[in-house]
Amino acid sequence: MARYVDGFVVPVPKRKVGEYKKHSRLMARVFKELGALEFVECLADDVKWGKRTSFPRSVKMKRPAETVVFSYIVYKSRRDRDRIMKKSMSDPRLAKMMDMKNLPFDARRMIFGGFRTIVDA
């Protein structure tokens, strides 16, 4: 079944991981209420600093104070994603989070994008 996925890689200060989890739980609740199929956040566990490329390098992670979070949201389609994203960005429960100063990470170093699935096994 074809689906659509938003993917994210984010540097998170280690001291703010708890706050990030709280932020993510609320986002997950809202996105799933609006129709997202999955909302997954993953904290770096076996992520090495590569010589040329790596998750830490991609977000210019500041060692040792930060870690990396890889996350993704799954939708039925691009159309659903666009609809859910538009509604979520105007949801009053997330209004405070939409202010860049209130985020528990540096959004300027976040990598994100939407992807069409080519294999869904």
Q: What ranges do the domains of the chain cover?
A: 4-116
Which residues on adjacent β-strands are paired with residue 5? 74, 115
Predicted confidence band of residue 95 (pLDDT cuts 50, 70, 90)? confident
Q: Please, which pLDDT band fits residue 77 given cuts at 50, 70 and 90?
A: very high
Rounded average pLDDT over 14-29: 96
Overall pTM surpassing 0.95 (yes/no): no
* pLDDT reported for residue 65: 94
Say if residue 16's pLDDT is above 90.
yes
For residue 87, pLDDT beyond 90:
yes
Poorest-pLDDT segment among 4-13, 82-91, 94-103: 94-103
- Give strand pairing partners of 30: none
- Domain 4-116, architecture per CATH: 2-Layer Sandwich (3.30)
- The Cα 41–Cα 68 span in angstroms is 10
Structure tokens at 29: 């609740």
